[in-house]
A = this chain, B = another copy of it.
Amino acid sequence: MTARGFSTAEFKSRVANAQTLMAQHGLAALLLTTEPEVRYFTGYLTRFWESPSRPWFLIVPAVGNPVAVIPSIGAALMARTWITDIRTWRSPNPVDEGIGLLTETLIEMAGKDGRIGVPDGPESHLRLPLSDWAKLTNAVPMLGGDHGVMEQLRIVKSSAEVAKIKQACSIADNAFARVPEIARAGAPLEKVFREFQSLCLSEGADWVPYLAGASNQGGYTDVISPATDAPLTKGDVLMLDTGLVWDGYFCDFDRNFSIGKPSQAVADAHKVLIDATRAAFDIAKPEMRACDLFHAMDRIVTGGQGGSDAGRLGHGLGMQLTEWPSLTAGDQTVLKPGMVLTLEPGIEMSPTQTMVHEENIVITGTGAEFLSTPASPEILVIEA
């Protein structure tokens, strides 16, 4: 069984790595505001971020340990992490929603002239009302971008992080194996969705932040919809795509099921998707680039026409359902050991009949390993 949490040594090593990169970019501090950013350095894990009412701040200084500037409701939980400098205000307080305390702390840690980096690139956002951001940038003019420091750190996972993702994948593997218990012709798709989430929980998921899918004759149109109450019907392809969480880390993969015997077109399309996945897996290793994996799959699913409306054929994952890089024609990210990726080729049999397959892999020193148990070329069949 994989252990929960991380050692303090791991957090200290993350901070040290951050400080090395910060020094290269002349940053006196990082200011972080989102759940994964704060958790990356602290281990602070709570679903309370679901509430948008209160901002949370973590400052990583050029030297020394991070300082948390957070609402007092979070002090008890933060005190259970390795962070010792925890400064709080009673929130919500729209008159001063922590901006005064944050300003003081930033100036204390970075000085009046120290440049402070805030993540500003792809996949990032600022979890703070714009009016408070305006107050803050007035008080602390040295705020700017983080030069991709957080991306560079988080894109490569430690072995402890990979183990958590693998645990999440293994839970999803077990849940997918039990889909025949809940999916049969006549079952409404929304019931299948509810019961699949329960399967994930009963197999050990802490929670199930993401489930999408579809079930339509000979393929489906889009892959991001919630469920309708339409019953599964013989001839449908049912797809379930889950991002479940174990100890704060996601898996993200799907499985396709044929309700009754698949048509030749469906059977063939599924084989092509597995071929495409395998082609990317076979070349995945350090020094290859994200775009190389894209092309390996795109050659097989479109004949090299350059992708589809989905925009990419896979992506990173970890503390979030999707992370850097994107497997697109344009993404030049060089693969490194510890990068965790989805391979997610899609195929169009007709304008309204598409299929998507997805697996999770980790880049190793010499190649790649599957974290999900790879599907076989034959589509799974549910007796109708």
Contacts and interface: CB of A to CB of B under 8 A. Distances in A.
Contacts of A263: none
A370 to B, nearest CB: 22
Interface in A312-329: 312, 315, 320-322, 326, 328
Interface stretch (A172-180, A219-227, A232-240): A219-227
A122 B222 contact: no
A309 B131 contact: no
Given A95-B330, A118-B130, 11 more contacts: A46-B226, A48-B212, A50-B210, A52-B320, A53-B322, A73-B311, A88-B309, A94-B330, A120-B129, A120-B130, A206-B226
B122 A129 contact: yes
Interface string A195-230: 101100110111111111000000001111111000
A66 interface: no
Interface of A: 45-48, 50-54, 71-77, 88, 90-95, 97, 118-131, 134, 145, 190, 193-195, 197-198, 201-202, 204-212, 221-227, 243, 307, 309-312, 315, 320-322, 326, 328, 330-331
Contacts of A134: 120
Contacts of A97: 122
Per assembly, the copies of the chain total 2
Nearest to A125: B127
B206 A309 contact: no
Contacts of A195: 201
B209 A205 contact: no
Given A91-B311, A92-B311, A131-B145, A206 B194 contact: yes
B92 A47 contact: no
Contacts of A197: 197-198, 201, 207-208
